[in-house]
C-alpha cells in the first residue's frame, strides 16, 4: 500500500514544485502589478495540492507503522501531519491566506519604503485573524501559539521557547556587557560606511560561491528585497541577496547564510525526492545550517584569511586581515535584525516572539505593534527605532503569514553551537576543506531529509536538542578569550 501512496503522492509533489517556482518568481522577477492574479493562481494550486493529499488520507489511516522501517515511518508521519492540517483547516481559509499574502507582500514593500505602518496594517490585521483561526482549528494545549510553532518546528512549544529564552537572554546580556567593556571588538568600523559598486560586489559574491564550492549546475543566485532560499528540487535550489550600496559585508553574509540553506537542500538523499520526506526536517534545523555557515564559518578568523586576498583585489581595501575580522565581528546593540551581530541577534528574536505570542493569544491589537516593538527594543537592546522601517516593518515574514517562524532563528543558533562543540570546524576551514564540512553535515543532518522529527534527529546525531549551553560556550570562547 505504501508504494501506491508514494506513486499517487507524485501529483502533490508536482504541484508543490510549481508553487515553489511561482513563489520564487513572485519575489524576484514578477512585475508588481501581477500580484493579484499570481495570488489567485497560487491559491488554486494550493487547493489542488490539498485535494491530492486528501485523496491519500484513507490509505494513510490504514497503514500499520509497526511493520515499517524508519524511512517509511517518516513518510507516514509527515503525511499524517499534513492530513491533520487539511482536515482541521478549511480550504477557504488557506485560499484566502494565499490571495492575501500575495498582495500583502507588495503592501509591506511599499509600507517599508515609505516607513508607514498604516499601509500594511489592514493586511496584517486580516493575516493575524486567519492565523488565529488556523490555530483554533488545529487545536492546542496551553497556548494557541503552540499550534503555529509546531508548523515550523515539530514538537516545539511555548514552554520550550520560554525555557530557551529564559536561559539564553541573561547570558547574552552578560556576554555583551563584557565585550563592550573590553573594547577589542569594535562597536563601529569605518568599513560600515564604505560604499561599493554593485557590479563589483556581484563579482565578489560570485567568488564567495566558488570558495564554498556551490554546484553551479544545481544552484543559482538572484536579487530580492529580502534574501531567501527556494528549493525547487534536490537538483534546483535558488538563493537571493540584496545590494544596498554600502557596508559590503551585509550582502556577502546574506550569500553565505542562504548558501547554508541551499547546501542542506542539495545534500538531502536524492532517493527521497518526490516523497514527503524529501525536504528539510524543520525551520529550526534549517536555520542552524545557514547560521552555522554565516557566523561560525563566515565570521571566523580562519575564513577571513581565505577571502582577504579576494576582498583586497576587488574592493581595494586599506585594512589588514585583523581589521577585516573586527569589521566582520562588530558587536553592538542595533535596530535591524538581519544586520545584527551574533551576540545580540537573539535579542531581536525575543522581541518578535513576545509580540507574536500576544497577537495570537488576542492580547495585542495590530495597531499596538509599533509602540510595543519600540518598547521591547529599548528593553532588550537599549535603543528605540526612529521610524516604522527600523521597527515593526523591517521583516518580510508577517506579510507571508509566517507566525511561529521567528523562534526557529534562535533554535538555529543553538543547534549551530551544538555542531561547533562536536566538530573541529575551524580546523577544516583553515585547511579549506569545505567539502569535508559538507560531508559531516550530510551524514549528521542533511541526508535524512524529514525522516526523523527534529528532536529525534538532533539527539541521534549530537546527543542533545535545543540546549543553549553550547551556543553560550561558543560565544564566550570567541568573544571573551581575547
Tell me which residue has cell 542533511: 446
Could you report the per-residue pLDDT of 262-315, keeping only the tens digit for each? 999 999 999 999 999 999 999 999 999 999 999 999 999 999 999 999 999 999
- Asked whether residue 261 is marked as a ligand-binding residue, the answer is yes
Catalytic residue list contains 443? no
pLDDT at residue number 32: 83
* CB crowding 327-337: b at 16 or more within 10 Å, else e: bbbbbbbbbeb
Distance separating the N- and C-terminal Cα atoms of the chain: 61
Task: Return the SS3 of 469.
Answer: helix
Q: What's the confidence (pLDDT) of residue 189?
A: 97
Dihedral-angle region of residue 411 (phi above 0 means left; psi in -120 to 50 means alpha; beta otherwise): alpha
Question: CA-CA-CA-CA torsion for 449, 450, 452, 456, nearest 10 degrees?
Answer: 90
Start and end residues for every CATH 1.10.1370.30 domain found in the chain: 158-479
Give the separation between CA 362 and CA 356, rounded to whole angstroms.
10
Say how far apart CA 454 and CA 285 lie, in whole Å. Answer: 7
Q: Which residues of 6-29 are buried (b: 16+ CB within 10 A; e: fewer)?
A: beebebbbebbbbbbeebbebbee
pTM of structure: 0.91
- Mapped onto helix, strand or coil, the DSSP state of residue 340 is coil
Spatial distance between the Cα atoms of 61 and 167, rounded to a whole number of angstroms: 40
3-state secondary structure of 231: strand
Pick the catalytic residue: 27, 52, 230, 258? 258
Long-range (24+ apart) CB contacts under 8 A made by 156-165 are 156/282, 156/284, 156/407, 156/411, 156/454, 156/466, 158/357, 160/466, 161/353, 161/407, 161/410, 164/410, 164/411, 164/414, 164/466, 164/468, 165/346, 165/350, 165/353, 165/410
Of 382, 404, 385, the closest CA to residue 394 belongs to 385
Write the Ramachandran bin of 183: left for phi over 0, alpha for psi from -120 to 50, otherwise beta.
left
Task: Yes or no: say if 210 and 434 are a contact pair by the CB < 8 Å rule.
Answer: no
CATH number assigned to the domain covering 158-479? 1.10.1370.30
Q: Which residues contact 327 (CB under 8 A, 6 or more apart)?
A: 186, 189, 191, 192, 249, 319
* CA 71 to chain CA mean position, Å: 25
Nine-digit cell at 45?
Answer: 494550486
Beta bridge partners of 237: 219, 231
Residue 362 backbone zone (phi > 0: left; psi -120 to 50: alpha; other: beta):
left
Query: CB under 8 Å to 409, separation ≥6 — which residues?
Result: 287, 291, 345, 346, 349
Q: Can you name the residues that pair with 239 across neighbouring β-strands? A: 221, 229
Place of cell 570562547: 477
Q: Is 125 annotated as a binding residue?
A: no
pLDDT at residue 36, as a whole number: 80
Low-confidence ranges of the chain (pLDDT < 50): none
What's the rounded Cα separation, in Å, for the pair 103 and 123? 8
Amino acid at each position: 500500500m505504501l508504494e501506491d501512496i508514494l506513486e499517487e503522492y507524485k501529483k502533490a509533489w508536482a504541484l508543490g514544485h510549481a508553487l515553489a517556482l511561482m513563489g520564487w518568481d513572485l519575489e524576484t522577477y514578477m512585475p508588481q502589478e501581477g500580484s493579484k492574479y499570481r495570488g489567485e493562481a497560487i491559491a488554486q494550486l494550493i487547493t489542488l495540492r490539498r485535494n491530492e493529499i486528501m485523496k491519500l488520507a484513507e490509505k494513510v489511516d490504514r497503514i500499520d507503522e509497526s511493520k515499517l522501517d524508519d524511512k517509511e515511518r517518516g513518510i507516514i508521519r509527515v503525511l499524517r501531519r499534513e492530513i491533520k492540517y487539511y482536515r482541521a483547516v478549511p480550504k477557504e481559509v488557506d485560499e484566502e491566506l494565499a490571495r492575501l499574502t500575495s498582495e500583502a507582500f507588495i503592501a509591506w514593500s511599499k509600507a517599508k519604503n515609505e516607513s508607514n505602518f498604516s499601509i500594511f496594517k489592514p493586511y496584517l490585521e486580516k493575516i493575524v485573524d486567519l492565523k488565529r483561526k488556523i490555530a483554533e482549528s488545529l487545536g492546542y494545549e496551553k497556548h494557541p501559539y503552540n499550534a503555529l510553532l509546531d508548523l515550523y518546528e515539530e514538537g516545539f512549544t511555548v514552554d520550550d521557547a520560554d525555557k530557551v529564552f529564559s536561559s539564553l537572554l541573561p547570558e547574552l546580556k552578560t556576554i555583551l556587557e563584557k565585550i563592550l567593556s573590553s573594547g577589542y571588538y569594535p562597536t563601529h568600523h569605518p568599513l560600515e560606511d564604505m560604499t561599493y559598486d554593485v557590479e563589483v560586489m556581484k563579482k565578489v559574491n560570485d567568488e564567495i560561491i566558488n570558495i564554498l564550492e556551490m554546484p553551479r549546475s544545481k544552484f543559482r543566485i538572484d536579487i530580492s528585497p529580502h534574501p531567501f532560499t527556494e528549493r525547487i528540487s534536490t537538483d534546483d535550489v535558488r538563493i537571493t541577496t540584496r545590494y544596498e550600496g554600502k557596508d559590503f559585508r551585509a550582502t556577502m553574509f546574506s550569500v553565505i547564510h542562504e548558501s547554508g540553506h541551499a547546501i542542506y537542500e542539495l545534500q538531502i538523499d536524492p532517493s527521497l525526492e518526490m516523497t514527503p520526506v524529501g525536504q528539510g526536517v524543520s525551520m529550526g534545523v534549517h536555520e542552524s545550517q545557514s547560521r552555522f555557515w554565516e557566523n561560525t564559518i563566515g565570521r571566523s578568523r580562519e575564513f577571513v584569511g581565505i577571502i582577504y586576498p579576494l576582498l583586497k583585489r576587488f574592493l581595494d581595501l586599506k585594512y589588514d586581515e585583523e581589521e577585516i575580522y573586527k569589521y566582520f565581528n562588530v558587536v553592538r546593540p542595533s535596530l535591524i535584525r538581519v544586520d545584527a551581530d551574533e551576540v545580540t541577534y537573539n535579542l531581536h528574536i525575543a522581541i518578535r516572539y513576545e509580540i507574536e505570542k500576544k497577537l495570537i493569544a488576542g492580547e495585542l491589537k495590530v495597531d499596538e505593534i509599533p509602540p510595543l516593538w519600540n518598547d521591547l527594543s529599548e528593553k532588550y537592546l537599549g535603543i528605540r527605532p526612529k521610524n516604522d522601517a527600523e521597527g515593526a516593518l523591517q521583516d518580510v515574514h508577517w506579510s507571508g503569514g509566517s507566525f511561529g517562524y521567528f523562534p526557529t532563528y534562535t533554535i538555529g543558533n543553538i543547534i549551530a553551537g551544538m555542531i561547533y562543540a562536536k566538530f573541529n570546524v575551524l580546523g577544516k576551514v583553515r585547511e579549506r576543506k569545505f567539502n569535508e564540512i559538507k560531508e559531516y553535515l550530510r551524514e549528521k543532518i542533511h541526508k535524512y531529509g524529514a525522516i526523523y522529527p527534529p528532536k529525534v534527529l538532533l539527539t541521534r546525531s549530537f546527543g542533545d536538542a535545543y540546549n543553549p549551553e553550547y551556543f553560550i560556550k561558543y560565544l564566550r570562547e570567541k568573544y571573551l578569550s581575547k
